[in-house]
Structure 1
């Protein structure tokens, strides 16, 4: 039992052990040094806060455009392609997809500038494509809000320009297609007319050879290509003259094609009325800056200053009480 007590006493006198009470007393005696370090750290933090560049983030939420915002484009597509035109929902999805792609490209361009700008776009809800959250970081709250609105408008105008180019290409393509269709139908109608004249001429030859000058049948609606010669040479000659001067006969499809072509030629689309997005939330005016955080910075300064002051006090005392071990 005495051995245990002896061991305990030996350990308590071990200079390597940390005496918390002594440690606290050392810190208390060196409180002036600690306070000075804290004050210096706070001064440095205040200087940092005074010169540090502020960062403010403005945020907006956008989604696919409303039907009214794409009405002119939708009407143009219906005129161009009729029943084959894309649905309104497909157009809306395509528009916001173009907006997302163009906005992402702009954000990448701004990030790679000599003086980078932080512009971001991402889904508002993870796993869902819409709505989209867009944000911009600036050195002032008003600047962030204003610049974000300008970038959104810039992207919207660029998408509208691209849609205008695509629409004009579609108009040219569809115009060419319809014109080619009309020419083809005219050629077919002309060939049908020439074939009809050739058939009457062949029937006239048979009627002349058979000495049939007058009609041999009463009901002309019963006449077929094989019995056409029974109308007589006189009637057939008159038919040939009539067919030669008769205008081409076209089907209803020809006139529908021509109507579609006229509608396309009169088509005018106001791209300024086309928008690729709709605001769910307009760019906000931030009320709290992202950095520097004044409260956090000052708290960290106090903690860091206190730690440095404590280190100075303890280090100084350790050097003062240091005794080289005997050789």
Structure 2
């Protein structure tokens, strides 16, 4: 039964299709005009529409030698602190890379770049921005800047940097400039962290120094008082010369004799080097001198990431896709032309009936 229906339906379907083609052929002028109009409009739009090009670069975690220059500047800091891992955490390549990605995608950084970059200022001037649409201008451009992971499953830690501009050259120049700004920001944050670490170490050492100096002064005062008492006792006992067999366990060492005690008293009054009583003061002073010799270069170049593919000039336009626009226009023109003709024919037939 189904085979009979298929046979019966097939000729009618073919007849309907042939009729449709014949009917559309009758309206070939309307369809052609409509198609031509749509095609011309599409060509004009495709040729005059704003072009968009995307410059790209591929980055991953930097290598140890990329930050060797800044490590060499903080060698003295390694010699001072007890736990080098605290510095290694700051100088960790993965941490620097993650910070770079975070700063690259931060809206505030994009906003600052759009407001201050000379190329972006020209765009803003051409757009004749008012206070009302300035925010929208910034948001629309911020969306054209991104750092996204390429393939999290097969290539973790590999990111694609992109910046969309109105020409190949401008897209490239904008991405280079923005990447440089982010690198400088990461460098400044790194140096600020190291400066904070140096300052903290200096503060701890100075606090320890003050405490040890106070302890040393107390010991000096105590020793001076004991010497004065011993001298008075030695004078009373008539002990002028040191005993041959001295007992150093005595609190007041009168066995030294008045001559030695007088000399000891004079020397104690002249003591300036408190490390005699607190040897750790010498070590702390040496560490403070080490830290004072650290001079971080705030203008140095820091390569916080490694480029697997350097920022390049785009070779093909992203928008508009002229071929697609024209093809879509041709199809739309044909469809709308057909609809117009069929509608007019149906209305005419309706009027006749």
Query: TM-score, structure 2 length as denominator?
Result: 0.75
For residue 134 of structure 1, what is the aligned residue in structure 2? Answer: 161
Paired with 1:123 and 1:253, the residues of 2 have a C-alpha distance of 52
Paired with 1:98 and 1:278, the residues of 2 have a C-alpha distance of 14
Using the TM superposition, give the Cα deviation of residue 217 of structure 1 relative to its aligned residue in structure 2, in angstroms. 4.5
For residue 4 of structure 1, what is the aligned residue in structure 2? Answer: none
Q: Is the 8 A contact 1:72 1:273 kept in 2?
A: no
For residue 103 of structure 2, what is the aligned residue in structure 1? Answer: 102
Q: Is the 8 A contact 1:33 1:313 kept in 2?
A: yes
Where 2:157 maps in the other structure, the secondary structure is: coil
Using the TM superposition, give the Cα deviation of residue 265 of structure 1 relative to its aligned residue in structure 2, in angstroms. 1.9
For residue 84 of structure 1, what is the aligned residue in structure 2? Answer: 83
Q: 1:92-117: per-residue Cα shift (whole Å, max 9, x none)? A: 23322332233223235549463642
Q: 1:141-171: per-residue Cα shift (whole Å, max 9, x none)? A: 1211121111111222233334444444444
Where 2:308 maps in the other structure, the secondary structure is: strand
**Count of residues in Structure 1 that have an aligned counterpart in Structure 2:** 308
Q: Is the 8 A contact 1:104 1:120 kept in 2?
A: yes
Is the counterpart of residue 235 in structure 1 residue 260 in structure 2?
Answer: yes
Please give the root-mean-square deviation of Cα atoms over the aligned residues, in Å. 3.1
Paired with 2:169 and 2:83, the residues of 1 have a C-alpha distance of 47
Paired with 1:191 and 1:72, the residues of 2 have a C-alpha distance of 45
Q: 1:169-226: per-residue Cα shift (whole Å, max 9, x none)? A: 44444334433433333332222122112222333344445554444452x4x51134
Q: 1:58-98: per-residue Cα shift (whole Å, max 9, x none)? A: 11122333333323433444423534343546522332233
For residue 198 of structure 1, what is the aligned residue in structure 2? Answer: 225
Is the counterpart of residue 44 in structure 1 residue 38 in structure 2?
Answer: no
Using the TM superposition, give the Cα deviation of residue 306 of structure 1 relative to its aligned residue in structure 2, in angstroms. 1.2
Change (3 A) 1:322 1:19: farther
Paired with 1:161 and 1:87, the residues of 2 have a C-alpha distance of 16
Where 1:305 maps in the other structure, the secondary structure is: helix
For residue 3 of structure 1, what is the aligned residue in structure 2? Answer: none
Change (3 A) 1:76 1:225: farther
For residue 322 of structure 2, what is the aligned residue in structure 1? Answer: 294
Which runs of 5 or more residues in structure 2 are unaligned?
1-7, 115-133
For residue 293 of structure 2, what is the aligned residue in structure 1? Answer: 266
Using the TM superposition, give the Cα deviation of residue 27 of structure 1 relative to its aligned residue in structure 2, in angstroms. 1.2
Paired with 2:284 and 2:314, the residues of 1 have a C-alpha distance of 57
Change (3 A) 1:131 1:19: closer
How do residues 171-320 of structure 1 correspond to structure 2 at under 5 angstroms?
A: 171-218=198-245, 220=246, 222-226=247-251, 228-250=253-275, 251-271=278-298, 272-320=300-348
Which runs of 5 or more residues in structure 1 are unaligned?
1-7, 13-17
Q: Is the 8 A contact 2:234 2:258 kept in 1?
A: yes
Is the counterpart of residue 64 in structure 1 residue 61 in structure 2?
Answer: yes
Q: In the alignment, which of 7, 17, 21 is matched to residue 18 of structure 2?
A: 21
Q: Which moved more, 1:48-57 or 1:31-40?
A: 31-40
Paired with 2:72 and 2:286, the residues of 1 have a C-alpha distance of 16
Q: Is the 8 A contact 1:199 1:225 kept in 2?
A: no
Q: Is the 8 A contact 1:58 1:136 kept in 2?
A: yes
Q: Radius of gyration: which is bigger?
A: 1
For residue 52 of structure 2, what is the aligned residue in structure 1? Answer: 55
For residue 117 of structure 2, what is the aligned residue in structure 1? Answer: none
Paired with 2:228 and 2:62, the residues of 1 have a C-alpha distance of 65
Change (3 A) 1:182 1:112: same
Is the counterpart of residue 121 in structure 1 residue 122 in structure 2?
Answer: no
Q: In the alignment, which of 29, 33, 36 is matched to residue 32 of structure 1?
A: 29
Q: Is the 8 A contact 1:69 1:273 kept in 2?
A: no
Where 2:54 maps in the other structure, the secondary structure is: strand
